[in-house]
């Protein structure tokens, strides 16, 4: 079983052992209401997430304080319904958590979506602090 709920025991064990300050998760495979917020909070982390049933999904976890959401979708395509990007401030650090599209098979619509998504990411990064 994959996704954040299927691998929750492994995630919680790793959080306890490694104790990272900030964590980015991808491929949650959980709708917004099924994200395991209580278990993550009980493990000492605050979380924001952008879920999606069966596919995609991203989250940012932080120990010190709850990440302050900046955006929950990559700008440039208001019709894009994929949960592939979330951006937040964790203290004074700006974090972009992303789940890149695979794009297979190529050529085809999935590959075209991937190329367009990359173009949007590059444009967004040039407008922010990435480059």
**Residue 54 pLDDT class (50, 70, 90 cuts):** confident
β-pair partners for 130: none
Look at residue 130 in the predicted model and tell me its pLDDT.
56
CB 84 within 8 A of CB 74: yes
Tens-digit pLDDT profile for residues 97-129: 999 999 999 999 999 999 999 999 999 998 886
Task: Encode pLDDT of 1-40 as tens digits.
Answer: 579 999 999 999 999 999 999 999 999 999 999 999 999 9
Q: Note the pLDDT of residue 129.
A: 65
């Amino acid at each position: 079983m994959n996704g954040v709920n299927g691998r929750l025991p492994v995630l919680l064990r790793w959080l306890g052992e490694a104790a990272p300050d900030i964590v980015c998760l991808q491929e949650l495979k959980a709708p917004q209401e099924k994200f395991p917020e209580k278990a993550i909070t009980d493990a000492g982390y605050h979380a924001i997430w952008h879920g999606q049933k069966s596919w995609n999904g991203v989250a940012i976890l932080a120990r010190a304080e709850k990440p302050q959401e900046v955006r929950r979708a990559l700008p440039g395509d208001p019709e894009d319904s994929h949960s592939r990007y979330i951006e937040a401030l964790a203290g004074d650090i700006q974090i972009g958590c992303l789940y890149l599209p695979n794009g297979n098979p190529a050529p085809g619509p999935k590959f075209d979506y991937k190329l367009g998504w990359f173009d949007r990411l590059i444009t967004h990064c040039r407008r922010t602090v990435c480059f």
